[in-house]
């Protein structure tokens, strides 16, 4: 009787939901602290640590349920699936956040962007400022923001699972 491989879908779903919930908590904390527009570096580091931790926990859960074995391909599937699930939930939460919790978020982000641009380039002409702000406004639509969010979630999920998979991998013995 052969041992069955544990369900990648189940582990990805459980850990994807966990990652999404922890990400939402960090976003709520940043909103309460009023740093959600000009995200400080420590918030980005915290989110990265949470992402790494949850993906590694998911990989370890699979490896434990799979008699201690984890291939790189399995690690990539699990890590990317966790990130995809968390990314989709985060996009849904961001939709609610931008439409109901902080409907002025995009305007605040645009104002912050303008302020940063002027601080970094005080000699910019009004025409240059208007052109840059026009370009920024095209990138600050909910659809574009959702797409970038999902793409970045998948990208970092891939990188994290690749590195963690290389560290945690243990291939099963090949039958003779």
pLDDT tens figures, 18-59:
999 999 999 999 999 988 778 889 999 999 999 999 999 999
Q: Which of 42-56, 84-98, 112-126 has the lowest mean pLDDT?
A: 112-126
Residue position matching structure tokens 């582990």: 11
- For the record, the structure tokens of 72 come out as 């790189």
Give dist(CA 97, CA 91) in Å, integer.
10
Q: Report the DSSP beta bridge partners of residue 70.
A: 170
């Amino acid at each position: 009787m052969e041992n069955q491989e544990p369900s990648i879908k189940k582990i990805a779903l459980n850990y994807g939901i966990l990652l999404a919930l922890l990400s939402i908590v960090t976003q709520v904390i940043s909103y309460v602290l009023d740093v959600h527009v000009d995200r400080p570096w420590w918030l980005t580091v915290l989110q990265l640590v949470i992402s790494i931790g949850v993906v590694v926990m998911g990989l370890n859960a699979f490896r434990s349920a799979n008699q201690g074995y984890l291939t790189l391909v399995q690690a990539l599937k699990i890590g990317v699936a966790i990130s995809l699930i968390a990314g989709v939930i985060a996009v849904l939460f961001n939709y609610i956040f931008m439409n109901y919790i902080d409907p002025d978020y995009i305007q605040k982000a645009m104002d912050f962007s303008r302020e940063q641009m002027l601080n970094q380039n005080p000699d910019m002409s009004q025409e240059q400022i208007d052109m840059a702000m026009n370009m920024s406004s095209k990138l600050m639509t909910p659809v574009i923001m959702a797409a970038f969010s999902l793409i970045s979630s998948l990208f970092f999920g891939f990188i994290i699972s690749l590195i963690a998979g290389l560290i945690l991998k243990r291939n099963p013995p090949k039958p003779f």
